[in-house]
Amino acid sequence: MNRSSLRLTVSLITLIGIIFSGCGGGGGSAVSQPSGSVAALAWDPPRVAADSTPLDPRRDLDYYEFYLRTDQNFTENDQPVAQVAAFYDVLSPNGKTFVRELTNEFTMDNLLPFTEKGKRYYVSIRAVGVDGLKSGFMVPVAWDLS
């Protein structure tokens, strides 16, 4: 089973202190009940694909897919609403070269065009490898849009 985790963060990107582990096939009983305005998601990259193929995040990941639902029953038929590259470039200390860093945070405002105010949504992420293999869905996170 995938041991990746998904963490909610609140205003000013402060950790809310809830860490979700595992990667299931859709259901998932551990869902966050946020206590504040959610600003970002943070996660650990998965170590296995949905078919149990091992993943080396630095070598095998290509991008992440973000999913939204009004319930937590994510399925293979769901379509992602956003994609984010698995890596970004950071200028090295010498100022002449770039270093690839793993992406592990996402600002929730990027999902607002796909939502309606006053509803509760569940957000989940899947990693996609350079070979097209996908991880399972990370444990959904509840997101209230008051």
Where are the domains positioned within the chain? Answer: 5-144
pLDDT at residue 37, rounded to an integer: 57
**Nearest of 41, 102, 35 to residue 68 by alpha carbon:** 41
pLDDT at residue 84, rounded to an integer: 95
Per-residue pLDDT tens for 73-112?
A: 999 999 999 999 999 999 999 999 999 999 999 999 899 9
Per-residue pLDDT tens for 10-44?
A: 332 222 222 223 333 333 344 445 445 568 888 88
Domain 5-144, architecture per CATH? Sandwich (2.60)
Contact call for residues 21 and 139 (beta carbons, < 8 A): yes
Per-residue pLDDT tens for 117-136?
A: 999 999 999 999 999 989 99
